């Protein structure tokens, strides 16, 4: 079985919000439609040339290289079974599992023809995640790898034994992470719990630990 990888993909191709489009269509994708359908294994220099030929200017060669990198990750490196975080820029992030290889389809959106089918696993509140993962999710690049946060993300994910499916804490729960002096504690709480109820539960836990 291939090793699972973790990604951040931003849902704003051509600066047009597509968070809900992705959610409703069970896809994630990239813009730059004029470069057309791509073949798996495409090289960065080939992508750069496609951007130039199809009138997608970049500020400099480094910016062109970053853009090519988005497609290298999306077309070549992402695999079925990988996990993709898609923030909405309003404090929520959708978490998907990739369910298809790359394909090109202009019908879903004129802005986003480069697609992969996905399955929604959960939505999370960004504030419930650790500060380090929050910083990663704040990155404004279109696609980045999140494997450096693999340990934390893996605590959110569990594999159902024998069926090979992936589940993350359900949408009626949140995983709260607290950090102090390099140590962290994670607690799963119901979203409908009041602050007072949470405080009582935490106090009970502390008393039990002190026994």
How many Å apart are CA 39 and CA 103, to the nearest integer?
Answer: 9
The model carries a pTM of: 0.74
Task: Provide the CATH number for the domain formed by 6-168 in this structure.
Answer: 3.10.590
pLDDT band at 70 (very low <50, low <70, confident <90, very high): very high
Residues 125-135 have pLDDT tens digits of 898 888 999 99
DSSP-derived pairing of the beta strands 27-30 and 114-125 = antiparallel
For residue 167, pLDDT beyond 50: no
User: Would you tell me the crossing angle of helices 61-71 and 44-53 to the nearest 10 degrees?
Assistant: 110
How many Å apart are CA 16 and CA 188, to the nearest integer?
Answer: 34
Residue 168: how many other CB atoms lie within 10 Å: 19
How many Å apart are CA 95 and CA 22, to the nearest integer?
Answer: 11
Residue 142, helix vs strand vs coil = coil
Domains in the chain: boundaries: 6-168, 172-211
């Amino acid at each position: 079985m291939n090793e699972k990888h973790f990604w951040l993909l931003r849902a704003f191709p051509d600066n047009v919000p597509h968070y809900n489009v992705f959610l409703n269509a069970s896809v994630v994708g990239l813009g730059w439609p004029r470069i057309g359908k791509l073949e798996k294994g495409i090289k960065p220099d080939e992508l750069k040339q496609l951007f130039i030929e199809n009138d997608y200017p970049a500020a400099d060669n480094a910016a062109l290289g970053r853009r090519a990198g988005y497609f290298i990750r999306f077309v070549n490196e992402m695999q079925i079974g990988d996990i993709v975080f898609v923030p909405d820029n309003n404090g929520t992030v959708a978490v998907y599992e990739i369910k298809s290889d790359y394909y090109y389809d202009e019908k879903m959106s004129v802005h986003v023809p480069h697609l992969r089918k996905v399955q929604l696993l959960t939505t999370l509140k960004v504030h419930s995640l650790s500060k380090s993962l929050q910083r990663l999710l704040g990155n404004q690049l279109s696609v980045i790898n999140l494997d450096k946060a693999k340990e934390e993300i893996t605590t959110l994910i569990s594999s159902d034994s024998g069926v090979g499916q992936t589940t993350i804490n359900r949408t009626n729960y949140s995983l709260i992470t607290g950090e102090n002096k390099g140590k962290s504690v994670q607690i799963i709480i119901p979203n409908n719990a009041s602050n007072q109820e949470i405080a009582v539960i935490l106090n009970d836990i502390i008393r039990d630990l002190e026994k």
